[in-house]
Amino acid sequence: MDWLFLLGIAIFFVGLMVSIGLHEIGHLLPAKLFGVRVTQYMVGFGPTLWSRRTGETEYGIKWLPLGGYIRMIGMLPPKPGDDPGKVRGGSTGPFQSLIETAREAALEEVRPGDENRVFYRKKWWQKVIVMSGGPAMNFVLAFFLYTLLLVGIGLPTYAPVVSPDTNTCVIPISEQRTECRPGDRPTPASQAGLKAGDKIVSLDGQRIETWDDATRIIRSHGAGPAELGIIRDGKAMTLQTTLIAQDRPKPGQPDVIERNVGFLGVLPTEVMQQQSFGEVFPYMAELTGRVAVSLVNLPEKMVGVWDAAFSGAERDPEGPVGVVGAGRMGGEILASDLTGVQKLFVFVNLLAGFNLAIGMFNLIPLLPLDGGHIAGGLWEGVKRAWARILRRPEPSYVDIAKVLPLTYALAIVMIVMAGLLVYADLINPLRLTG
């Protein structure tokens, strides 16, 4: 196996671990700020690889880079009417036993004097801030990476610069070939003497700045003589050419054919065009919308993953991918024939997209996700505000322990989905490069 492939996987997982670590710091900092006692901060799951205790918190790294957590005392309130320091035994059914066991686990680290340091006693808005901190950190990291992508590296775009891959002959679109044959007529570009690297700047006095400009102006010109303004080796030149009429695919709609449009016969060069800082906001907003749609369609997309895993169907490029598949993509990127800048672009884009997806997924208002705790905190705030309006006694804390059976069911579903993604990523991976 190529060492670059392995290095790419390693780099991706380091980036993933950093993202997970920052997510958990997003929870840790406000929790400590509001006085919640945090006993553990861990990146990863499974056996502990390294840890160190600083103050009252144990900081560590575990072997499996598949997530992370912070352990806050008193995440669940005691049973109503019971002593805050202990939970009464004696369940009335399997679900009640499950809930009471969870309450005991949440309170087992509560020591004398910690009564006001448990999570459930904090104000509703403090709970919301603590639980929103993780996804917020992912969004901040995604924004930073997308800023690096757009402003620092640039977006890939086609420039009106003649590519070395440009053919010197006219090949009708009905013929599925790329090589010239004897008897093929030369293109107007080759007859005019255009060379690879020439930048097209005008046609018959019409200014050309982008490849879209070049396509539109050349096609609308139609067949006939024209003056072609170019820049070659930094010098402005004018070439005489005669465009011909050809049937060509419509830009962005390859199945639609435009008849008898002007044809010069050049291919553009892909370049990285840097964007302004202001472009980051609409770019990330568009991607956020696409991720939201993907989350809504996640059950349907997982059916496609199942078909790809067990029926050999093709993986959906817009479908979900797990950490194993993303790590494999990182290896493919580094081992590919892309240029260094292109590799950096794809790598940063992959990591930024993962952070955006992780942040949004965690906002789903279901436990055990952060969004479930956020929803509980918001509901508590609504109840207390309503009680103040009606001048009623302040209601008790929202008891999210009551939905623990649903939480465990959702956790099982998430584990099954994660396992299916791992299997599909190994058997029928989604590839970025050919």
Residues of the chain with pLDDT under 50: 83-92, 434
Beta strands in 135-207 (DSSP E): 155-159, 199-203, 206-207
Last residue of one domain, picked from the residues 235, 250, 273:
273
Could you read off the pLDDT of 76-91 as tens digits, one per residue?
A: 887 765 544 444 444 4
In this structure, is the dihedral angle defined by the CA atoms of residues 182, 185, 196 and 259, taken in order, positive or negative?
negative
Q: Give DSSP secondary structure letters for 77-105.
A: PPPTTS-TT------SSHHHHHHHHHHHH
Could you read off the pLDDT of 296-349 as tens digits, one per residue?
A: 888 888 998 898 889 888 888 878 888 888 888 888 888 888 888 888 998 899
Q: Which of 374, 371, 359 is nearest to 139 (CA)?
A: 359
pLDDT the model gives residue 64: 82
Q: Is residue 153 part of a domain?
A: no
Please indicate, yes or no, whether residues 9 and 143 belong to a single structural domain of this protein: yes
Q: Give DSSP secondary structure letters for 260-318.
A: EEEE-----EEEEE---GGGHHHHHHHHHHHHHHHHHTHHHHHHHHHHHHHS-PPPPTT
pLDDT the model gives residue 129: 97
**What are the φ and ψ backbone dihedral angles of 30, each rounded to 5 degrees?**
-65, -30
Q: Strand pairing partners for 243?
A: 224
Please indicate, yes or no, whether residues 23 and 138 belong to a single structural domain of this protein: yes
Q: Is residue 303 part of a domain?
A: no
pLDDT the model gives residue 1: 53
Q: Whole-angstrom Cα distance, residue 151 to residue 149? A: 6
Residue 305 and residue 424 in contact, taking contact as beta carbons nearer than 8 Å = yes
Q: Whole-angstrom Cα distance, residue 230 to residue 165? A: 18
Q: Is residue 34 part of a domain?
A: yes
Q: Is residue 417 part of a domain?
A: yes
Please indicate, yes or no, whether residues 190 and 230 belong to a single structural domain of this protein: yes
Please indicate, yes or no, whether residues 109 and 140 belong to a single structural domain of this protein: yes
pLDDT the model gives residue 88: 42
Domain count, the chain: 2
Q: Is residue 390 part of a domain?
A: yes
pLDDT the model gives residue 433: 52
Please indicate, yes or no, whether residues 74 and 56 belong to a single structural domain of this protein: yes
pLDDT the model gives residue 432: 64
**24 given a catalytic annotation:** yes
Q: Is residue 314 part of a domain?
A: no
> Which residue out of 24, 100, 332, 380 is catalytically annotated?
24
- The overall average pLDDT reported for the chain is 88
Please indicate, yes or no, whether residues 188 and 72 belong to a single structural domain of this protein: no
pLDDT the model gives residue 89: 43
Q: Which domain holds residue 8?
A: 3-148+353-427
CATH number at residue 172: 2.30.42.10
pLDDT the model gives residue 339: 84
Tokens 């049973």, located at residue? 79
The amino acid occupying position 74 is G
Please indicate, yes or no, whether residues 199 and 133 belong to a single structural domain of this protein: no
pLDDT the model gives residue 96: 65
Q: Is residue 387 part of a domain?
A: yes
